[in-house]
Amino acid sequence: MRAFAQLFAVLDRTPDASGKTAALEDYFRATPPADAAWALWFLYGQRLKRAVKSVDLRRWAAEAADLPPWLVGECCDHVGDPAEALALLLPLNPHPAPLPLALLVEQRLLPLAAATEVEQRAILRATWSELDPTQRFLWHKLLAGNPGIGVSRALLVRALARLARVEIAVMAHRLLGAWRPTPAHFARLMSGEAPGGEPACPYPFYLASPLEGEAPALGAVTDWQFEWKWDGLRAQLLRRAGEAILWSRDEEIVTAGFPEVADAARALPEGTVLDGELLAWGDGPLPFAGLQRRLNRRAPSAAIRRAVPAVFMAYDLLECGGADCRQWPLTKRRRELERLLTRAADEAARREAGLSQTGWLQPDLFDSQPVAPGLPAPLRLSPALSVATWDDLAGLQAQARATGAEGLMLKQRDAAYGAGRQPGAWWKWKVAPFICDAVLVAAQPGHGRRTTRFTDYTFAVWQGDELISVAKAGSGLTDAETDAIDAFVRAHTTGRFGPARLVTPELVFELAFDGVAPSTRHKAGFVLRRPRIVRWRQDKRPAEAGTVATLRGLCRG
């Protein structure tokens, strides 16, 4: 605790990152693994449950300091942080003899949770008598769950990487995932033994950078592989030590929400890690919102599993045969990924047929339920697309929306799998929505609960001096705007057409849409695809709205 309190004091007063990193490095170099493990655990931002009620803490501190409770309250208000105020007012200890951090946590802090009030009081009094004010301050922070020391994970990773003499990405990887503050674990972090003992540890995700310039600037088109950019939940699928674990990009284990994926993953060989996207999937990708229902609950009900079938769309292979294969070029990783998924699919088919007999699957993996009939296979391979020329890529991009993708991914074929956002090997080319201004020409009540208000709108653009309707859209506006438009519709009705009211063409809206689709049912000859309201252009007059000719130009023949 003495060294940890010293580290805290230095971190607390050192403003610059290099000073903090040096202090962390010094601390971890000199600290025994048992203490270092706990220090790292807290510095990494892990929390324990609050061990003692704060009213009890104050009461016992007042008693130990022989001060009236009101005066202790004054002190807490004055200092602003009770952990600090109590640390300062407790009786001084001229010869502090703090326990090492690990013992303090394991013999004092952890037992508090199950202790009676009398025992808690005794533990606190004993501990206070051993600590100096700075150490007590930290002790109080630990009692509240975490010291909350201002050090970023990036600094921590940098300090440990330097100490272990490994790349920052390697240390970031070792620190990811669920780990326990044990000396053995800390030693492994430093020595970098094979991750076999840590089945739950994912790799840092490689993140694509937005493509800003022109794609041809990337060189030969044949050096690149293209994939759809899926709008799902980025995840790693870890198949290790008899388990299948799904890690989301924000470092959460989401396995429980996707049992069918986890089950299917058991058909993969031991020591496999895939990178991919969790998607809600019907005939193709379903809206992202559906996935939320999977994330909100631990185990989705059968009804939700049916309503929002989930798949893992795999597109990269990070570990193969228990070995980190991120340094392989993409082409090699891809080839191996395809082979693994094909064998897994065969395996799954054989399992359903009751014929499961292969060398590399363990028998105990077979008691999982087969995929329910009629649902999509939960493990899928994201197709690799290729084009002959950069010009063809634009054509591919134009199909992204029809595929249900957000755009394209451009991946360099001979590049290794990176870490974090390192521009160069992976680019994302998102489909930008089209934008046009259109005039509100008709409105009708929405469905369901909103039937009392006019919330479904028809929008038109100019052809000569005639307004031709090209889109229907609802929502996207604030409640106040919807009310205002509702009032406008009632006051400016010029005719009725079924449930719809025709209105004076006065209001202009900016619409976003994904393209134009030919339509014989519409007078314009096309209709906007997936139109949505961006905003109400109260600054624009109807004459400033778009034209049919411009929109048709988007139609690309």
Q: Does residue 148 bind another protein (CB under 8 A)?
A: no
Stretch that binds another protein, among 81-89, 228-236, 498-506, 540-548 (CB under 8 A): 81-89
State in angstroms the smallest separation of the CB of 13 from another protein: 6
Residue number with CB closer to another protein (87 or 508): 87
State in angstroms the smallest separation of the CB of 174 from another protein: 32
State in angstroms the smallest separation of the CB of 142 from another protein: 16
Token readout for 240 is 């290790």
Q: Does residue 95 bind another protein (CB under 8 A)?
A: no
Stretch that binds another protein, among 80-88, 394-402, 487-495, 519-527 (CB under 8 A): 80-88
Residue number with CB closer to another protein (149 or 256): 149
From the CB of residue 182, how many other CB atoms can be counted at a distance below 10 Å?
Answer: 15
Q: Which of 48, 64, 65, 295 is close enough to bind another protein by CB under 8 A?
A: 65
The answer to whether residues 528 and 513 touch, using CB atoms and an 8 Å cutoff, is yes
From the CB of residue 69, how many other CB atoms can be counted at a distance below 10 Å?
Answer: 13
Q: Which of 89, 274, 471, 489 is close enough to bind another protein by CB under 8 A?
A: 89
Stretch that binds another protein, among 67-75, 141-149, 206-214, 364-372 (CB under 8 A): 67-75
Stretch that binds another protein, among 10-18, 236-244, 259-267, 299-307 (CB under 8 A): 10-18
Rounded to whole angstroms, the Cα distance separating 79 from 61 reads 15
Secondary structure (3-state) at 51: coil
Q: Does residue 13 bind another protein (CB under 8 A)?
A: yes
* Tokens 């600054």 sit on residue: 539
Catalytic residue among 20, 141, 229, 411: 229
State in angstroms the smallest separation of the CB of 86 from another protein: 9
Rounded to whole angstroms, the Cα distance separating 551 from 553 reads 5
Q: Which of 88, 115, 431, 517 is close enough to bind another protein by CB under 8 A?
A: 88
Secondary structure (3-state) at 101: helix
Q: Which of 56, 63, 74, 483 is close enough to bind another protein by CB under 8 A?
A: 74
The answer to whether residues 277 and 205 touch, using CB atoms and an 8 Å cutoff, is no
Q: Does residue 63 bind another protein (CB under 8 A)?
A: no
Rounded to whole angstroms, the Cα distance separating 231 from 27 reads 43
Half-sphere exposure at residue 237, Cβ-oriented, CA atoms within 13 angstroms: 34
Q: Which of 92, 388, 432, 480 is close enough to bind another protein by CB under 8 A?
A: 92
The answer to whether residues 472 and 458 touch, using CB atoms and an 8 Å cutoff, is yes
Q: Does residue 67 bind another protein (CB under 8 A)?
A: yes
Stretch that binds another protein, among 83-91, 203-211, 342-350, 412-420 (CB under 8 A): 83-91
Task: Tell me which long-range contacts 174-179 makes (C-beta under 8 A, separation of at least 24).
Answer: 174/201, 175/44, 176/201, 176/202, 176/203, 176/204, 176/247, 176/251, 177/201, 177/202, 177/247, 177/251, 178/253
What's the distance, CA 2 to chain centroid? Answer: 37
Stretch that binds another protein, among 82-90, 362-370, 430-438, 457-465 (CB under 8 A): 82-90
Q: Does residue 159 bind another protein (CB under 8 A)?
A: no
Q: Does residue 71 bind another protein (CB under 8 A)?
A: yes
Half-sphere exposure at residue 135, Cβ-oriented, CA atoms within 13 angstroms: 21
Residue number with CB closer to another protein (79 or 115): 79
State in angstroms the smallest separation of the CB of 26 from another protein: 13
Rounded to whole angstroms, the Cα distance separating 326 from 415 reads 9
State in angstroms the smallest separation of the CB of 59 from another protein: 16
Q: Which of 5, 34, 43, 84 is close enough to bind another protein by CB under 8 A?
A: 84
Per-residue exposure over 82-116, b if at least 16 CB sit within 10 Å of its own CB, e if not? bbbbbbebbeebeebebbbbbebbeebbeebeebe
Residues 100-139 interacting with another protein (rule: CB under 8 A): 137
Whether 430 is a known active-site residue: answer no
The answer to whether residues 417 and 242 touch, using CB atoms and an 8 Å cutoff, is no
Q: What are the DSSP calls for 420-434, one per residue?
A: BS-TTSEEEEEPPPE
State in angstroms the smallest separation of the CB of 19 from another protein: 10
Q: Which residues contact another protein (rule: CB under 8 A)?
A: 12-13, 15, 65, 67-68, 70-71, 74-75, 78-81, 84-85, 88-89, 92, 137
Known catalytic residues are 229
